Structure 1
């Protein structure tokens, strides 16, 4: 009887540890951009709403969002919030993403 109680207790502790590890992995994946897909359409509408060339901005933003699964907040700058988005460049070496 004592063995079965110890076995059940260790089993429950093991399950708890596995659940905590899985939750930690999920949180770190979301922080790194590997979580669920964001809505690129609405994110790019918000990003490009003040652009003088909205069609070009939406097209470039959509491409960058699809590759990086993130769009920096605001209408300009904030590239530190999404390193992948900031690192994409054109053939001329200029920043691709608005």
Structure 2
């Protein structure tokens, strides 16, 4: 299945969000999954999709 590091590196490879890797690692460790691809596909991992930051915005890239 691969590690969080490998999955997040792919997920954040084209991200403009400055904390993409930090947020992705948090979400991967909590949810035990990262959606495939560089964006979208969040239906593959509902926990990842539903994780919110303090402002109620999506946390996971």
Shared fold (TM-score greater than 0.5)?
A: yes
Which structure has more relative contact order (CA 8 Å, sep 6+)? It is 2
Query: Stretches of 4+ moved more than 2 A in 1?
Result: none
Q: Quick check: 1:42 aligned with 2:6?
A: yes
Matched residues, number? 61
| Structure 1: segments with no counterpart, 5+ residues | 1-36
Q: Which has the larger radius of gyration?
A: 1
Is 1:92 the counterpart of 2:59? The answer is no
RMSD of equivalent CA atoms: 1.4
User: Are 1:79 and 2:48 counterparts?
Assistant: no
Higher share of residues assigned helix: 1
TM-score by length of 1: 0.59
